[in-house]
Chain A
Amino acid sequence: MAGLMAGFGHYTHAIVRGIPASLATEALRTSQAEVDLDKARGEHDAYVQVLRTRLGLEVVELPADEALPDCVFVEDAAVVCGDTALITRPGAESRRGETEAMKEALKDLKMNIVEITDENATLDGGDVLFTGREFFVGLSKRTNQRGAEILADAFKDYAVSTVPVLEGLHLKSFCSMGGPGLIVIGSSDHAQKALKIMQQMSDHRYDKLTVPDDLAANCIYMNLPNKGHVLLHCTTEEFPESVKVFEKLKDHMLIPVSNLEKVKLDGALTCCSVLINKKKPDN
């Protein structure tokens, strides 16, 4: 039976991209931290390894582009849901070129490609939280109303609600999905406020998992065959308190993934991959 909207967290493919040398110096950042390129690359390799070998996803690795220092953060370039892929129009002008390679990769995967042609629209994938039942789009420095409208048009099945992002770069800078109906949320005021808004806007009930650190709230949930609930989250090194919270999730296979360097560039775990489900969900 074909079932729609079934299988939240089912993924078969992941698209990632290499780290260009320009990342260390030219990539956009909100802080002034120094980035160690080698460490960052090492981290990223480990991340890709987890996806590929540990989780068994088919990883499509796009080559780094020196002209696009932020290109490793592929999440912002596309929003994929079901077999539709919306190629975004990133809010930062320097990043608009990133979508090209992404589009090609998604085309190769036979996704239905939707592109944003509206010059007034901006949308970063990092502002898009898909809960399995609906979308929340953060209205941030990088994403505007028009971008959200286009997203709503691209994914007609789902409700698309907007959430103002008052602090932090993206909506997913302080939240993500930790399971079906489970929102992992940072404990900062703005994060909590955003969660309130999401809860109010939604017809569905969500559980929340509050972690002490906003950045730790960004994790990657998957539901994989033979593995069940899988959660990629921050390491004890980075956020010891938050890890303790994650460890309470008994049903999940917990995989700590280091993100010490990329986080300096506001890159969270979800930022570095676009996850795709190519197999028809059975159910």
Chain B
Amino acid sequence: MTTESGSESKQPQENKEAEKSKAAEEQTSPQNQAEKFPAAAGHSTPAKREQEQQGEDQVSHRSSTSRLSKSPLRGVRKVKIMQCKVVLLDGSDYTVDVEKRAKAGVLFNKICDHLNLLEKDYFGITYRDVESQKNWLDPTKELKKQIRTKESNGPWNFAFNVKFYPPDPAQLSEDITRYYLCLQLRDDVVSGRLPCSFATHTVLGSYTVQSELGDYDPEEMGSDYVSELRLAPNQTKELEDKVMELHKSYKGMTPAEAEMHFLENAKKLSMYGVDLHHAKDSEGVEIMLGVCASGLLIYRDKLRINRFAWPKILKISYKRNNFYIKIRPGEFEQFESTIGFKLPNHRAAKRLWKVCVEHHTFFRLVSPEAPQKKFLSLGSKFRYSGRTQAQTRRASSQIIRPAPFFERTSSKRYNMSRSLDGATIAENHDTLMKDSSAKATTIITTVTAEKEEKTEQEDAQKDATEAHEAGATTQEPKRPPHAYTADPLRSELSLPSSPVLSTKVRRRRREGSHKRASSVSPVKGSIGCRRRQAHADRKAALLEEQELLLSARKQRLEQGKRRSGTLFSFSLHLPHLPSILDDDGYITFPDLSEMSFLPECAQNFLPIKSPSLIPCFLFIFFFLLSTSFSVPYALTLSFPLALCLCYLEPKAASLTASIAQGYHDHDSSEEEETDSERTDFAFDGDVTVTESEADEESETQTQDTEPLPEVVKHQTNISELKRSFLETGGSGMPGLTEWEKRLSSSPLRSPRSDEAPMIEPLEPQDTKDGQQSGAERNEEAGPKGTESTPGCVSSSQQVPSGQEKTAVAMETGAVPDKTTGPTPLDSVEAASKDVPVVHTETKTITYEAAEVDTNGDADPGVLLSAQTITSETTSTTTTTHITKTVKGGISETRIEKRIVITGDADIDHDEALAQAIKEAKEQHPDMSVTKVVVHKETEITPEGED
């Protein structure tokens, strides 16, 4: 095993040239990658520029000069090309140039193109960190930020691997995909990661031989042809003989067939697709945690001692080197339990956590949870960004190309052999074997061998890290200013809701977020429109905000670096709460370590690029002046406030992340001064990450968010909307500004207003809360009250049904596009309660399923969870609430969909409704529609054109 290691280091130089030109070719050829990585849409030349730009205003960390000075290369702002060396599944190296600041997805797509692989979602790129641990690259993030090496030293090294092992490989569309999966599995077998019995080794080996060498030919092959191939960790003559025996019986079997047989056998192995992580349980006993398609497996030695299927797991999180799973209560248990595991270090915990998040999303969900789905979302949580298995299956079913011809390289030979592109094969199993270094003693020798081989490189890496650390440390002083500008705002936001616990509070906080939203949007609106038109009450709201801001800043100044509390509470005001707050009302925090270093943070703090900044700033400044602030004071205040407002653009997601990070950096500077490399990881707060509270829910719920691209589009559209509004100016209506209108009709708001009613019938106490805060909001928002319709969603829709029966209540409202009155989402009650600007004619028809029982009112049951999801297409807005209740031991999932179809009269509403119902049925085949409420709202007085 140790003998072949020498070749790897020399090899790349030889084919570098060839590869380079190849890579260059590839760069210029337009490629279609938009599908998967919308951000990195294609890497043809023009797209690249765009990407470059994106990187600049989104997450770049070039602003930090202290960092730049560390490396002479960084001073140059030209597009830097970086060479990447990727070990492919057949063991060959693929060298390709990418822009230094390219996202990992760009590299990934290049590799897939090189491999002619279309079903790429099962695959990923790994890199070895300084601890030689395998990490998966996030395709949406820059390569540079994900590898922690000094890039000036030689090429970046990666490996192309199977990330998600399809439980049923037969369902893959293309043979070529299966071939690559086979290659991965062969390596898994040979390295010992996929243990199997002697019999299995022979069977798998024989199929490998058949697929690589074809039919047995006694003349050509002789008697020891099998010994050239690596088929098992401990390959014996006996095994080879058995393999030959089997091989002889496969005459006529095509390579693709042989691979299929290989996979059919491999997939049954108990460790197939199980990603193992070393850990200790709460009692310090050494265990292994295995992440797989179906859930999390716990092993002690080789025994499975527990298993948590994804539906059992409510939440996964990590903190320092601890990894936690929160378990849904069992049949006879009352409370959910949290189980903690100790990982060797923080990075290991994070790695495990990420792998869990990704596997859960890929295998369990229908579509990924879109993190930046909501306007003000604290969306920086790490999420799996690719397609889910369901999506990729759908997509690959559309592959119409003729089966591509590909050459099966002879892999895993003892001897060197030539690979497809003429490069000598480097034995990548050694590298990959490192995975298992800790678990199997037999492999340890290999590890050392590999270490030697890589020493140079690792040294380089170490250097890099050190440099990096140094860089990070010097940045520290730069942080406070950034954090400072943002923090007051954040703390300000936190004030309305005091830090309390319990779910009640949590709901309250949500209401708080309402409040926040209602006070923010007017500001935004008025910036764009005429200041004078700002209503008095809005001014009051703003004033209040200012006050809060002031006091927060004061607080901030006083407290200095005090953590917790203030920062976190920022999230309280963001609508994405269901997932931010966990069941206890604690805020669960996103994965900050995903963000790299502080400079990013700085970048994110540059909403200066926002076109709305100046108007914002001017408006606030004059506004403050008008409210008798002194000039300097007004100046001081308005800039941060303007900055803050500009933040409330779709970019909010990355912002909050970096805020948190900047914040976290404070922590680390206190706690981990000596280890600043860790800072980006060692986020000490509640770094957790929540999966949505209930698995089933997230499943169903994500089904509703299917039109992902649209959702994403929506995000970006908000700022556009706002901008366009700023340009056109308002129409001067006394009530609402255009921006406000749009905002309020934006689906993003609906969840909030809908939350309270969702809870209402189930938990009377909370309802009070909801109503209270709703009332508060009403006060704040003043007579317009457009945002304040917490109680308006008809609770009659909460029709309880029997066990496992689920209600899908839909509301379809048709509202003309240019409504200037209350938001369409707020429906009838809102219209009647508030003072509408526009008179509308409303018509409500209710269809109800016969078997509906109404005992829900009598026995509200216990609310397990409630969630709201919104998605939007051009003319429809779908808001989905999912509530889970337990009533007398019967759990009930209720899905309420509210679909707002907005458009001119010529839209066929009936058809749209039928379509909506059909879709709902398709999405939830196991549920029954119990009620359909059609609420038609037609504008009578034409008003408010813009």
Residues of B232-249 contacting chain A, CB below 8 A: 246
CB-CB under 8 A for A159 and B304, given A82-B197, A134-B270, A203-B294: yes
Q: Is A122 an interface position by the 8 A CB rule?
A: no
Task: Tell me the complex Cα distance, A201–B305, Å.
Answer: 8
Interface residues of A (CB under 8 A from B): 1-5, 82-84, 112, 133-134, 137, 145, 148-149, 152-153, 155-162, 200-203
User: With the chains together, A3 CA to B195 CA distance in Å?
Assistant: 17
**A residues less than 8 Å from B300 (CB atoms):** 145
Q: CB within 8 Å of A: which of B297-318? A: 300-307, 309, 312
CB–CB B197/A157 < 8 A: yes
Binary interface profile of B, 454-468, with partner A (CB < 8 Å = 1, else 0)?
000000000000000
B414 at interface, CB cutoff 8 A: no
In chain B, positions 195-220 with a C-beta closer than 8 Å to chain A are: 195-200, 202-203, 206
Residues in A whose Cβ lies below 8 Å from that of B195: 156
**Residues in B neighbouring A5, C-beta threshold 8 A:** 265, 268
**B-chain residues with CB within 8 Å of residue A156 when the two chains form the complex:** 195-197, 200
Residue in A155, A156, A162 whose Cβ sees the most chain B Cβ within 10 Å = A156
Give B residues with C-beta under 8 Å from A. 195-200, 202-203, 206, 246, 261, 264-265, 268-270, 292, 294, 300-307, 309, 312
Contact of A2 among B246, B268, B292, B302 (CB under 8 A): B246
How near does chain B come to A267, taking the closest CB pair, in angstroms? 27
Given A2-B203, A82-B197, A84-B197; A152-B268 close (CB under 8 Å): no
Task: Report whether B197 and A162 are in contact in the complex, using a CB–CB cutoff of 8 Å.
Answer: no
Count chain A CB atoms within 10 A of each CB in B196, B264, B303, B312 and give the residue with the most: B303
B729 CB, nearest partner CB in chain A, Å: 61
Q: Once the chains are docked, how many angstroms separate the CA of A201 from the CA of B701?
A: 27
- In the complex, what's the smallest C-beta–C-beta distance from B255 to chain A, in angstroms? 15
10 contacts between A and B (CB under 8 A): A2-B246, A134-B270, A149-B302, A149-B303, A156-B200, A160-B303, A160-B304, A161-B303, A162-B304, A203-B307
- Supposing A5-B268, A82-B199 touch, asked if A148 and B307 sit within 8 A by C-beta, the answer is no
Q: Are B302 and A160 in contact (CB under 8 A)?
A: yes
Cβ-closest chain B residue relative to A154: B197
> Number of contacts between A and B (CB, 8 Å)?
72
A157 B301 Cβ-Cβ under 8 A = no
Q: Which residues of B contact A112 (CB under 8 A)?
A: 198
* Contact with A153, one of B203, B302, B312 (Cβ below 8 angstroms): B302
Whether B305 lies near A1 (C-beta < 8 A) is no
Q: A149-B302, A149-B303 are in contact. Are A155 and B265 (CB under 8 A)?
A: no
Complex Cα gap A51–B179 (Å): 45
Docked complex Cα distance between A159 and B198 (Å): 16
Task: Write out the residue numbers on chain B whose beta carbons fall within 8 Å of the beta carbon of A3.
Answer: 203, 264-265
Q: Are A157 and B270 in contact (CB under 8 A)?
A: yes
Residue of A nearest to B202 (CB): A2
Q: How far is the CA of A145 from the CA of B303 in the complex (A)?
A: 8
- Not counting A4-B265, A157-B200, A200-B312, a sample of 10 additional A-B residue pairs whose C-beta atoms are within 8 angstroms of each other reads A2-B206, A3-B265, A82-B197, A156-B196, A157-B269, A157-B270, A161-B307, A162-B304, A203-B292, A203-B294
Q: Are B307 and A202 in contact (CB-based, < 8 A)? A: yes
Do the beta carbons of A201 and B307 come within 8 Å of each other?
A: yes
Residue of A nearest to B293 (CB): A203
Asked whether A4 lies within 8 Å of B301 as measured between CB atoms, the reply is no
A150's nearest neighbour on chain B, judged by CB, is B302
The 8 closest A-B pairs by CB, nearest first: A159-B270, A152-B302, A161-B304, A156-B195, A2-B203, A201-B307, A149-B301, A156-B197
Bound CA–CA A1/B246 (angstroms): 9
Contact of B199 among A83, A137, A148, A149 (CB under 8 A): A83
**Which residues of B are found within 8 Å of A162, using beta-carbon distances?**
303-305
Inter-chain CA distance A63–B203, complex, in Å, is 37
Residues of the B chain whose Cβ atoms lie less than 8 Å from the Cβ of A134:
270
- Please name all residues of chain A whose beta carbon is closer than 8 Å to the beta carbon of B301 when the two chains form the complex: 149, 152
A residues near B304, Cβ cutoff 8 Å: 159-162, 201
Bound CA span A145–B265, Å: 28
Q: Which residues of A contact B246 (CB under 8 A)?
A: 2
